[in-house]
Amino acid sequence: MDKNQHALFNYCLRLGDNSLILGQRITEWCSHAPILEEDIALANLALDLIGQAREFLTYAGEIEKKGRAEDDLAFLRDANEFRNALLVEQPNGDFAHTIVRQYLFSVFNYHLLTELGKGKDSTLAAIAVKSLKECTYHVRHSGEWILRMGDGTEESKRRLFNAFEDLWMYTAELFDTDESDDLLVKKGIAVDMKTIHPLWLETIKAHLDKISFPLPSNHYLVQGIKKGKHSEHLGHILAEMQFLPRAYPGTKW
Amino acid sequence: METLEKKSVAEDPILEEAFMTRLLNGEKIEPKEWMPENYRKQLTRMMSQHAHSEVIGMQPEANWITRAPSLLRKVILLAKIQDEGGHGLYLYGSTETLGTDRSELIEQLHEGKAKYSSVFNYPTLNWADIGAIGWLVDGAAIVNQTMLAKTSYGPYSRAMLRICKEEGFHNRQGYDLMIAMMRGTKEQQEMAQDAMNRWWWPALMMFGPHDKNSSNTIELMKYRIKLESNDDLRQQFIDRTIPQAEIIGLTIPDPNLKFNKETGHYETSDINWDEFFNVIRGKGPCNKQRMHNHIQAHEEGKWVREAAEAYASKHKQL
Ligand SMILES: [Fe+2]
Ligand SMILES: [Fe+2]
């Protein structure tokens, strides 16, 4: 791979890994949701996200040209090779944490996919356009829960507040970039994070304003650990997710 | 109010005779129409049990969702579990047309007054169990539900028609998983046979006790809620499933199994009825775990449901 292909490969991994790890996290809710309708809705989100991951990872494998398919990339990479953001690997916590994590990510992804859909790489643009429809629903679904919790009972307000406080520190990292991104931005392939960061913040502010809910006031923002560094959680997610292909190498399922 | 009104006229012999005539003519009964109280009771029991089964049945499958060995298998499994949730939702809705609402039905489940299919009290121990459930458990459900699509209660019949199509997908996907395992490595074949050994008998038990021991069957058939007996349905399932097992090299865990050329049916050993009644009475490997999970999720979700209600009532007033 030359420098450009390498940059594109990594970029696709990041898009795919974000969706895959968040999707995997959401499936942990399966059969445990607060209400049956929400069990179904969460399964929907996870189906969309894992579907997107499959497309991004398949494309990553094609760019790499080493014959790695979606499953090789999903099940046979170790944690330090995963490119997902810290936010998506955070534990589900209570329902408020799950929804806040979803909302913060989905708004980010919404602006990202909107721009990516206009990009010069036709494969990425096509995946983005298709995914954007799903993502729009994710923003709406999680956004509605934010309103219900933020303007519901005292308990739900407190829980929502805590969830925003706990997760806000991981949001800046969503927008981190490095030299290889700059290369792709110049070529009109990747999205310039500097342009979508303010859009992301505006969307969230405007939404919370509807119920006069405060934005987290803090604080320390985790920065610059994009290059293969993760929280302790990812290793456990992968240990569970990758168990069968690792225990029975080369097996077709 | 409505149910009180219905109750006061429920024991009317003239209405009852007219009702039975309608049943004999193959008419469907609709929610607002007169029905004997016992018909309503039997239907509520059976339909809510069916709804609970769909929902509790999500648990043993969800047990493997985070460990599905390929992304495609993960998506297929997740979509299946989601379908089952949808079936549960649809069936709760159909049951509510009889006058009991969902929260009450769930309360009955938690108090042990309502049951769910005891097949879901068995554990999923290896990946092939996911195939075995789709193929055998959904397969048995299809036989039962195809019959129930002709049931006398309109909403139940329509629910079954709709649900049956999806169960057909689940059945094929489960069998496809088993084929992949049997075409795979020695370890995979062992997993598949192990799953077969553990799910075969519970699947046969899904049809319930022998007709002679089933007090409900007589009344259910009188009311044309059920149109075929437990044993007949079980035989249909056995006859269609055994050739499927044999063609992919799976052994049926029954030393007495034989095909009777004269009747055209397979003959099996008798079911272990002690085990059957034990599991129904709560003494199966996972009864406690399944109920505990459901109650815990319900309790932990209480604040979420309350928030949604509070928000809805606030914004209705505006
Ligand atoms: Fe179902
Ligand atoms: Fe099913």
Instruction: Please give the pLDDT value at position A222.
Output: 85
**Would you call A36 and B73 a contact, using CB atoms and an 8 Å cutoff?**
no
Ramachandran quadrant class, B153 (left: phi over 0; alpha: psi -120 to 50; beta: rest):
beta
- How far, in Å, CA of B85 to CA of B34, rounded? 31
pLDDT tens sequence across B60-95 = 999 999 999 999 999 999 999 999 999 999 999 999
Can you give the pLDDT at residue A178? 84
Cis bond upstream, residue B110 (ω within 30): no
For residue A179, the model assigns a pLDDT of 85
Residue A220 has a pLDDT of 82
B residues 64-123 lying closer than 8 A (beta carbon) to A: 65-75, 78-79, 81-82, 85-86, 88-89, 92
What are the b/e assignments for A123-141, b being 16+ CB within 10 Å?
bbbebbeebbebbeebbeb
Backbone angle region of B209, left / alpha / beta, with phi > 0 → left and psi within -120 to 50 → alpha: beta
Please check the confidence at residue B242 and state whether its pLDDT lies above 60. yes
B295 touches chain A (CB under 8 A): no
Which of the 8 DSSP states describes residue A33?
S
Q: Torsions phi, psi of A84, nearest 5?
A: -70, 160
pLDDT tens-digit profile, chain A (253 residues) = 899 999 999 999 999 999 999 999 999 999 999 999 999 999 999 999 999 999 999 999 999 999 999 999 999 999 999 999 999 999 999 999 999 999 999 999 999 999 999 999 999 999 999 999 999 999 999 999 999 999 999 999 999 999 999 999 999 999 998 888 999 999 999 999 999 999 999 999 999 999 999 999 877 888 766 666 899 999 999 999 999 999 999 999 9
Instruction: Give me the residue from B89, B127, B303 closest to A153, CB to CB.
Output: B303
Identify whether the C-beta of residue A91 lies closer than 8 Å to the C-beta of residue A247. no
Query: Each residue of B155-176: pLDDT tens digit?
Result: 999 999 999 999 999 999 999 9
Question: Is B314 part of the contact surface with chain A (CB cutoff 8 Å)?
Answer: yes
pLDDT (average), residues B191-217 = 94
What is the distance between the alpha carbons of residues B130 and A169, in angstroms, rounded to a whole number? Answer: 39
β-bridge mates for residue B29, sequence order: B153
Ligand 1 centroid distance, CA of B54 (Å): 5
In the prediction, which pLDDT does B316 show?
Answer: 85
Spell out the domains of chain B, with CATH numbers in brackets.
2-317 (1.20.1260.10)
- Bridge-partner residues for B260, per DSSP? B265
For the four alpha carbons of B190, B192, B194 and B200, in that order, the dihedral sign comes to negative
Q: Measure B2 CA to ligand 2 centroid, in angstroms.
A: 34
What is residue B2's predicted lDDT score, i.e. its pLDDT? 46
Element (H, E) at B259: strand B258-260
Distances (CA, A) of B271 to B210, B240, B312: 10, 18, 51
Structural contact between residues B254 and B268, judged by C-beta atoms closer than 8 angstroms: yes
Distances (CA, A) of A3 to A58, A120, A180, B225: 20, 17, 8, 69
Lowest mean pLDDT among A227-231, B45-49, B149-153: A227-231
Question: Which residue of chain B is at minimal alpha-carbon distance from A55?
Answer: B71
Residue of chain A nearest B181, judged by CA positions:
A253
Helices (H), chain A: 3-27, 36-64, 70-75, 86-89, 95-116, 122-150, 154-167, 179-186, 193-209, 233-241, 243-247
For an interface test with A, give the residue of B303, B309, B318 to mutate (most A CBs within 10 A).
B303
Specify the pLDDT at position A224: 61
B100 conformational bin, left if phi > 0, alpha if psi -120 to 50, beta if neither: beta
pLDDT recorded at residue B12: 85
CB B187 to CB A248 under 8 A? yes
Specify the CATH number of the domain A3-247.
1.20.1260.10
Q: Which of A19, A37, A39, A237 to mutate to test the interface with B (most CBs of B within 10 A)?
A: A39
Which A positions 108-147 lie with beta carbon below 8 A of chain B?
Answer: 147
Q: Are B303 and A159 in contact (CB < 8 Å)? A: yes
ipTM for this model: 0.97
- Check if the beta carbon of residue A134 is closer than 8 Å to that of residue A94: no
Give distance in angstroms: CA of B206 to centre of ligand 1: 14
Q: Which residues of B touch A148 (CB under 8 A)?
A: 307-308, 311-312
Of A20, A27, A151, Cβ closest to residue B78: A27
CA B152 to chain A, closest CA, distance in angstroms equals 28
Which of B67, B88, B187 has its CB closest to that of A240?
A: B67
Q: What is the mean pLDDT of residues B1-30?
A: 78
- Quick check: A43 and B127 CB within 8 A? no
Contacts 24+ apart (CB under 8 A), A109-118: A109/A18, A109/A135, A109/A138, A110/A135, A110/A136, A110/A138, A110/A139, A110/A203, A111/A196, A111/A199, A111/A200, A111/A203, A112/A191, A112/A196, A115/A191, A115/A192, A115/A195, A115/A196, A116/A190, A116/A191
pLDDT value at residue B4 = 47
> What confidence score (pLDDT) does residue A228 get?
63
Which pLDDT belongs to residue B317? 66
By Cβ distance, the residue of A30, A44, A54 closest to B65 is A30
Residue B5 has pLDDT above 60, yes or no: no
Amino acid at the residue A175 = F
Query: How far does the CA of residue A122 sit from the closest CA of chain B (Å)?
Result: 24
Asked if B304 lies within 8 A of A251 by C-beta distance, the reply is no
B59 interface with A at CB cutoff 8 Å: yes
Domain segments of chain A as ranges: 3-247
What is the pTM assigned to this prediction?
0.96
